[in-house]
Amino acid sequence: MRNTLIAWWVLLGMVIFASCVPQKKLILLQENPEVKNQGNADELLKTFDLDKPVYTLKAGDVLSLKVQTTTPTEYNFLNTPATVSSSDDPVLSGYTIDTSGEILLPVVGRVQLAGLTMPEARVKVTEALKPFLADPTVNLRLLTFRYTIVGEVTRQGQFTTYQDNINVMEAIATAGGLSDYANRGKIRLVRYEDGKAKLYNFSLLNDNTLAMNNFYLQPDDMIVVDPLPAKFIRENVLGTFSLGFGLVASIVLLITRIQ
């Protein structure tokens, strides 16, 4: 029985030792790191041709429109927001593309924007304003680029970006990054297109992921980060192991005292 107890202690010690990380591998920007397999910041490892998708506007998108012009303020009909609201939500004061693919501007009327990229939409709105405003400079932003992240991240939820495009790693960073038990080798992407939900898998362990088209998100995408099996082992198996170890140790101690 005593040998059994010793074996349990040795096994526990091996588990604890294996989970330790040397301090030299944790401290950033050391003077004399002496760590193997270090990277060289001036050495180019690979070059990827990025396949960034170009987002085209569609019905339901909400745009923020700000115009600078040399027209006197009192004659600038775009000085006041299209919708007056007590909320700070910029979407409520934006311009919504209707089912016909158009936005409705004061005085100007309807401007067709569906199917255009953001740069093309800026040009289209600028041209529509020229007959009414002197030298208009248009700042147009998409307000409804939302994406959702669930699973093994620091902060799950729905997020909004005002960028025209954002990649998966940038999106995960906005969620506080991956947890210790995130399965970085199998990230799932759910994309809604044409009334269908499409599921994609990719790996953040493979640097070729940088060159993939689906590395960049589309509005309403969902990222699902699954846990590694180690999480189940830690939260379930290890707890049972600790309980069993404590029970065996107590029995051995009791028998030893009786003898």
Quick check: 232 pLDDT over 60?
no
> pTM value?
0.70
The CA distance from 157 to 169, in Å, is 16
Phi, psi of 162 (to 5 degrees): -100, 10
**Which residues, other chains included, contact 1 with Cβ-Cβ below 8 Å and sequence gap of 6+?**
252, 255, 256
Torsion of Cα atoms, 31 then 35 then 39 then 43, to 10°: 70
Token pair recorded at residue 245: 């170890």
Give pLDDT, residue 85.
47
β-pair partners for 64: 141
**Which residues, other chains included, contact 188 with Cβ-Cβ below 8 Å and sequence gap of 6+?**
199, 200, 201, 223, 224, 225, 226
CATH number at residue 219: 3.10.560.10
- Among 142, 171, 196, residue at a domain's last position: 142
- On whether both 223 and 156 belong to a single domain, the answer is yes
CATH number at residue 73: 3.30.1950.10
Please say whether the beta carbons of 188 and 226 come within 8 A: yes
Q: State the chain's mean pLDDT as an integer.
A: 81
- On whether both 162 and 113 belong to a single domain, the answer is no
CB atoms < 10 A from the CB of 182, how many?
21
Among candidates 118, 76, 79, 77, which has minimal Cα distance to 97? 118
Q: Is residue 13 part of a domain?
A: no
Q: Is residue 32 part of a domain?
A: no
Q: pLDDT tens digits for 116-152?
A: 999 999 999 999 999 998 989 999 999 989 999 999 9
- Reported as a pLDDT band with limits 50, 70 and 90, residue 233 is low
- On whether both 89 and 72 belong to a single domain, the answer is yes
The CA distance from 51 to 210, in Å, is 9
- On whether both 80 and 123 belong to a single domain, the answer is yes
Residues spanned by the domain of 202: 145-227
Give pLDDT, residue 83.
46
